[in-house]
Structure 1
């Protein structure tokens, strides 16, 4: 009897369409003798088929007997030590070379360099912080021929890969685009669908996006009996309900868990469900087009996960909260029993699961879908604008002169230490810069801020000055700035990009240290669980006089209990002791005054909340952001927008604009107003 992996490989190949040019390249490389070492960079939007193409490459290599390695950047910790441990773990369980827990990674790499090798790293954007080390230290240790490194990422090939003269002749960059109409038609044919007018409409609406095509096919092939008479949706807005129609009822809770978790292995799913998943269940799950295996377990495709979260929040917001607490309690127990890199991995999952719980001045600073506002790697053309941001406003300021000089040094020597969030026009709006502390980075900081590290780490600095990068476990924040230029984002949203970058990427398994004199930053860090102490030995004339050293040490398991405490707020968001009673009239009146903070400050709602007009204005404006705050839904948002613009509109006219019946409008209006009240209470 053949292995399941072989059967899955055959099925994936049968259903794979298009990408002929890319497949020809791989075929030629596999048969070429003494092929020079190359890097193939695959980029494209989510759902465009990067991972599917990479799986085809792996299948082709296996058929030709070429050794292959697959790593998932979402699971690799973004430190050199974490990457090497993930590589070693793969080789121990997939012995392409003689690997064991006791063998050094240097010996394993030396063996890898002896034969032809395909190295694939999916979701490469998650490890871009160690890109310099990966390019200049890790890859040069492999063979100069017979090596193909395939990197798949949503982000384009970085500036440093492109400008490195030594690598220019060894790099190929493929930007994946949508499939053609003919390829889409071929895909539906392979799925066994007749090419009728309805399917032709779907081909047009899917715009060649492979993920949307797969979901449409599942919907057509496996409809629920009770919905057979309903009209099939053909819009690109593939709903979460469509996903449920292709999933059996027994696996409903698995999907709900996966829409909250970034990924989960069978063990996690088993204890969260209260019963282990059978092999048949696992096979069925891996067979769905919107579920993909990763190194950490099963994961929903990002687009599908977005649909499911929106659907769950709209239908059962209390269940969403209950499920999340259940997940966090389970992960907290796992965290306490884990060790090494596993502890860091679980902590990272917990932080990713709870991005939306962090606030500044009662206003949410981390978007429910922060992936749309993620920091990106620094590029040299960013530098003048970053200097301008320092001039305008710097949150963690040492002194203007030192800050500018330090930024230049980091850009030249450690460019991966700088992360930037840009506008749609590619103009930097926020940035953050910090380093792992080890021999080379400490030498740099001793030059720019002599004596500071001795006071921050009085008992450790002598030892830390000799640390190699692989043993570094302390992240030191240096510079952070928010542009004052007008943009499509609020100040709090821009601050959120910085906080999210720090929480998700640095604090899991590391000690995070920040030195600042900025009062608002001190308050925010305290809310995030940082412990503070004064920096000693500075006179009143010194620029660091009054500075506080903020430390958050997550090298142990305490992170689980800390995050769990943050998650366990009362359902509905009400704080103990509050007894606000808001009326529909007050809410609608405030919405109509949303553009007038002076008038808002005189409103009944502002009086009950004891907040200023601008504060209330910001809370109300957040209702109409791209991702409405919990528990509001897109449907609530559309209805409230109508009420804000035309408070006296009749029910008939409003229902017509929303494409719903008059009776449905009244129910939807009550729900939207109540959700708005709950949101306002939760933000107070």
Structure 2
């Protein structure tokens, strides 16, 4: 009974409902179900459940296994004949043709034909479509085909059978389903939580972990070491050659990679055919950014790689950090967000797994990112109330009694300052709230957090004059998670909030906050925040001011801090090299150069010009050349070039007229202008590096 309790069938409601509908439909016709998914996700388990259900409904079921050799029509028909004989005592007359006999038998009574491991079925496609399936078109047969990649495209586009085909790609377990599975296991609640965190909803990982914990030698076994090793071996069985094996372990460290990028991470480049073989593996997807590993498979391969050869893993991961940092400014905004998320995923194991505010050992995936909605406010107030009762950090700049009113004020007047992390159904799990700093928001900030003036210093005066559309700094004041959630620990949600907020900030924003809690201060330091001094909060509390600045080129500085923290003796020296800082240009420096582009004497007075030892004439000619070039230069798009030309070279319209000419609001135009300045700074810096290299 204990063993049965540990192997309850869960997570197949949709598939089993469709299967049962077919069994109970007296008018059902011959149909095809295609079950697909990565290794260990439950394809065989689902087929076994379907076989049991068919017996309960007294419907005949036959089982074929592709690993037994279903690559020829003779073996396919022979396997069916054997199943009919051994399972149901049906035998063929000596004079009857095999195909006619099988077609006749399958037409006699409703039949479910379960085919597991049917990866090689494409070899029989022509014969199945031309000779076998037409014989059964008016019968009542359900073909259930399970394979890692699903039935080939020809099945989905065949004019005769595509309307009878249903696809069922299997998914990972939700956290709720994992707890459902573990509920009757008898394992302690805390251990169930740890299992839920570390198995990522992968069914085979979950089953193996539970089995090992119940084994007689459980106390002597390192379950968290053994399970990834077993699963990585299972996944790598698909990779027949050592070259593919090496490529997969390297790919596990990248969000996506084309052949050139993957080869930069390998000591020995792949042969061309090997790269295309990777795309055929069940857990590798071909995307617009290159090939990408299934997230769970990538994690498992990384864990196994790290445990087998830790020094080699650390060296390769370090090279991956450097590669991703190099790529950041040469890709579009969508890919920048993806790179940021992946960098944080690789960095996760360097972050604390046990912390008062965040537990980074769990790799939770948030739901869709949606802006704050007014209907979210009751949930956020409830989270914050529970946080206050638990004495968790909010803001020592604000009187605790004012927290609810402050949150209401932000929601009513400046809702863009609220960042919400949601579950798969769109319900809030956690939030942080602050104010984008500009002339309209500063009075509210100073009303509730008077200590902000000390934090901001002289900048406070200019912020009182800053228009809304130019705001690029968020002052964080409140933060809370759903501490009463039944499925997630508060520390897991805290980690999820911090990770997602960091990714959000890489769009080119600056975040400011202040804290007195030493644990929070230590965590902020590890996350790449910069300490900017001390200020005094309410009741005379001394606070540390923290800043995370992704404006201009600060992402490079942040990722370099990450790289330095992950360096090992085996790793390559971190970039940038000694002279790279001298050859990088900040966005504000680029803006100053553009503003003085036609005043050479003023242009040459800029500190950035003296750093490069360039003449004003050279800089002006190079910038004009970049903007006039019809080819895209790195991250600088054609539209961004037009914006810079209109704003700095022609200078015949004011900002409102420019925004209207590009069919944008002033706020949107300002954001595009800042991004264009940042991208031009990167391209110009790249030209400088090339010029210096040519002169050596």
Shorter-normalised TM-score: what interval?
A: 0.3 to 0.5
TM normalised by structure 2 equals 0.43
The normalised TM-score by structure 1 is 0.43
Give the greater-gyration-radius structure (CA). 2
